[in-house]
Amino acid sequence: MAEVLLLSLVFPPDSVSTAQIMGELAVDLEKHGHRVTVISTIPHYNRNLENERDQPLRPKWGRILYQSEYHGMTVYHTFMPPKGQNILWRLLAWVFFHIVSVIAALTIVPRPSIIIAPSPPLTIGLCAWLLGMLYRAPYIYNVQEIYPDIAIRLGAVRNRWIIDFLYRLEKFVYSKASAVTVIASRMREQLLEKGVLNDKVHIIPNFVDVSDLVPLPKDNDFSRKHNLYSKFVVSYAGNMGPAQGLEHFIDAAKILREEAGICFLMMGDGILRESLRQRIERYNLGNFVFLPYQQYSLMGQAYAASDLCLVPQAIETGFEAVPSKVYRIMACARPVLAVTDQNSDLARLVSEASCGAFVLPGSAEVLAEMIMRAYQNPQEWQKMGMSGREHVVRHYARETVTNQYHELIETLVSKSGRTSKFAR
């Protein structure tokens, strides 16, 4: 069995989706007999006070590094300021995370026989390479989103010198990784086009705990609290940033404001939250419920309160990521309305699972038309939701996917000769 070092920018008790995925992966790797140590950050993205009470952080190196226990494994957390709009401040915090992570990995973490580094940020692959070289341990670079492509296409990075540096860094990280895992087939094709070796790129999708998220009745505590149980609810839950194009969702609500039976629900947080809230107020939309980030424990009820769930991608990001929320929606047997390019992995998933429909980004009118179609044919779309549940149970259940990581780890550790002798 392997001594695994997981380097992840987010990890429980932070409750953003990537943190939860990495937390569940770590737990399942321990069940397979590996020993996992995690280096991450303090909660800074989607804070959940209940999770933080259950997983308290204790100072290890003053305010520089903290320690917690997660299902019996040791987790180290570097300082990280709350997410915000100041990009320079966030970049400096990322640099701090990388420096402290490397120092901690070299001084207080058991010698790893393999390293797992999920991206973003792209630079985490550099840390994994350095530690892998010093420890003579292979590393798996897990690509959740293809960077720097997303940042460049969204206009977040425009300086040609920086762009050139980031592409060189990306190429270096891929070349030094023992394995590169991607979460969808189109992402794999893109990496092959970038010159990554065919036998190095593995498709291991994200997953959902289908025993935790299950179909629930629409009439529940969440829907009653927000007066949703008697309406046809179209919902969005998640990050409110430029990659989602949520302005069109609000504009679709404006178009359908005279349809008394339809209610729009948006919940989450992000850098555009305030501007989106102001947009709703400016339109004076009485058919819109706008909520802050909701804890994961409420998501089963929130999706159950929904009749149609939005999964949006800006046209610039459709080939570089698959939103993990789509698997949660499918697990709850709710139909998906994807806003994405027709050739994206998200569109392919929706089509293969027959779990909803997709429209191209950029048109509130087209979005409103599809919502009306679902509103007028509820039974047809309910069947799509059940089809999504069946598909996700077959292909994206937690145990099925995490076992693929276990098998990959065993293969790489066996090739490297770095088997671990720790006692369980």
What are the pLDDT digits (tens) for 350-359?
A: 999 999 999 9
User: 350 and 411: one domain?
Assistant: no
In the chain, the percentage of residues whose pLDDT exceeds 70 is 96
Per residue in 121-135, pLDDT (tens digit) is 899 999 999 999 999
Q: What is the CATH number of the domain that holds 169?
A: 3.40.50.2000
Torsion angles phi and psi, residue 322, rounded to 5: -130, 115
Burial (CB < 10 A; 0-12, 13-18, 19+), residue 81, is: middle
- Domain hosting residue 29, numbered range: 3-207+397-416
Query: Across residues 397-401, what is the average pLDDT?
Result: 96
User: 40 and 82: one domain?
Assistant: yes
The token pair at 174 is 């891929």
User: 60 and 113: one domain?
Assistant: yes
Amino acid at 90: R
CA separation for the pair 45, 100 (Å, rounded):
19
User: 32 and 149: one domain?
Assistant: yes
- Spell 351-372 as b/e; 16+ CB within 10 A means b: eebebbbbbebeebeebbebbe
In the chain, the percentage of residues whose pLDDT exceeds 90 is 79
pTM of the shown model: 0.91
CA separation for the pair 23, 78 (Å, rounded):
17
Query: Across residues 160-172, what is the average pLDDT?
Result: 94
Least confident span in 41-55, 170-184, 293-307: 41-55
Number of structural domains the chain divides into = 2
How far is residue 241 CA from its own chain's centroid?
14
Sheet holding 288-291, edge to edge: 288-291, 262-269, 232-239, 308-312, 336-339, 356-359
What pLDDT does residue 88 have?
A: 72
The conformational region for residue 332 under phi > 0 = left, psi -120 to 50 = alpha, else beta, is alpha
Per residue in 92-102, pLDDT (tens digit) is 888 899 999 99
CB 364 within 8 A of CB 255: yes
How far is residue 397 CA from its own chain's centroid?
16
376 lies in some domain: yes
